[in-house]
Structure 1
Amino acid sequence: MQRLLVLVLVSLVVGACSSIPKEPVLNSKPISATGNISQYWVSQDDQPDNYYNRAQLRVMSQKHVYVIVSYLIDSNGNVYEVTIEETNHKGLFDELVVESLQKRKFIPAKTNPSRQPVYNLSRLDFGME
């Protein structure tokens, strides 16, 4: 019984690790889509699951925070090469932004049937309304 449980757990871990390739799948050379991302890729999940810690909530209650991030969307709609380019509050939101983007899955827009891989630059804003 224990062996079966261990085998199932190992299978789950291996399956989870292999779900997104370690290297991007590129059917052509990536182009810049900054400002035109919706012509190439559409996010499957527009409602990010943001969970803020106390420090983040405290900062957001005091000031508006922004993070400018660059990333690659490969031919399968997976996100790679996430890089924080600029922020007005270094470190506190970086990990949240990187993890959120890496979990995001994109589908090709109707105008992108060839699944053109793209680089994008986005500004993400955090604050209390």
Structure 2
Amino acid sequence: MMKLLAVLLVVLIAAALAFVRLAPSDPARWHQMPDSVTDRDLEGGAMRRVEGNLAALDTIIRDTARTRVLAGSVDQGMITYVTRSRVFGFPDYTTVRQSDDMLEIYGRLRFGKSDLGVNAARIERWLDRLGQAG
């Protein structure tokens, strides 16, 4: 009986991990911004509003490991990226919008409640690189 429970537990964990990695990302859900973007950390993400150029930041973000574009483009003025964690492949979504000479950045997790500051740290690394490039 214990062996059966152990096998079931392993199967459930494998199924959950497969779901995290393989669940589709719906652009209609993730490629959007809140009405107001301010500089603040959230329980499951972060927001930043800084001076900058979307094309320059796009180059930096595309150079980030395990990151791909979900929707949008520089020409459209807004891009949403998916960055996956190294081990388990948890997806985080970051949407960046050009608003005049300002960049509005909204990074958030998909699964769970707290990202333990991962999105804020990633955004800060990008902005540090953007500052060095400018």
Compare the two structures and name the one with the higher helix fraction.
2
TM-score by length of 2: 0.30
TM-score by length of 1: 0.31
Relative contact order (C-alpha < 8 Å, sep 6+): which is higher?
A: 1
